[in-house]
């Protein structure tokens, strides 16, 4: 059941356009704090914080506190792992065979 929960949290996290935008920013800039994300998006600070919490809960971003600021970065290994689990569970079994 835990595997299903991981996949469900992943898809809940990435189904939102704002969270997709935040993930894109983190991938491009490596590490960003909330203020930097707000300045590069059309999203308010409380809303960014809410979306970051969902992404953290899904385990696809990580946070690191430096002084008073918290920096966020995407966890590409976790994203790849979840995509792999999804394909393993729901993908075509013979995905290496060419379509006929």
More confident residue, 95 or 54: 54
Q: Choose among 17, 5, 6, 2: nearest CA to 59.
A: 6
Assess if residue 98 is contained within a domain: no
Q: Choose among 2, 93, 42, 37: nearest CA to 10.
A: 2
CA distances from 72 to 12, 20, 26, 59, 64 (A): 19, 14, 7, 12, 6
Assess if residue 33 is contained within a domain: yes
Name the band, by pLDDT with cuts 50, 70 and 90, for residue 93.
low
Which CATH number belongs to the domain containing residue 61 in this structure? 1.10.10.10
More confident residue, 85 or 27: 27
pTM greater than the 0.75 cutoff: yes
Name the band, by pLDDT with cuts 50, 70 and 90, for residue 10.
confident
Assess if residue 96 is contained within a domain: no
Assess if residue 51 is contained within a domain: yes
Q: pLDDT tens, 15-73?
A: 899 999 999 999 999 999 999 999 999 899 999 999 999 999 999 999 999 999 999 99
Number of domains in the chain: 1
Residue 12, helix vs strand vs coil: helix
Say whether pLDDT at 98 is over 60. Answer: no
- Rounded CA separation 57/5 (Å): 11
Assess if residue 100 is contained within a domain: no
Assess if residue 82 is contained within a domain: yes
Assess if residue 26 is contained within a domain: yes
Domain housing 78? 2-90
Assess if residue 95 is contained within a domain: no
């Amino acid at each position: 059941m835990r595997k299903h929960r991981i996949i469900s949290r992943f898809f809940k996290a990435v189904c939102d356009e704002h969270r997709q935008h935040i993930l894109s920013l983190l991938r491009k800039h490596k590490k960003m704090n909330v203020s930097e994300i707000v300045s590069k998006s059309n999203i308010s600070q409380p809303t960014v914080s809410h979306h970051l919490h969902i992404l953290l809960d899904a385990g696809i971003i990580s946070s690191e506190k430096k002084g008073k600021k918290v920096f966020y970065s995407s966890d590409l290994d976790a994203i790849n792992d979840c995509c792999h689990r999804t394909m393993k569970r729901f993908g075509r079994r013979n995905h290496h065979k060419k379509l006929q």
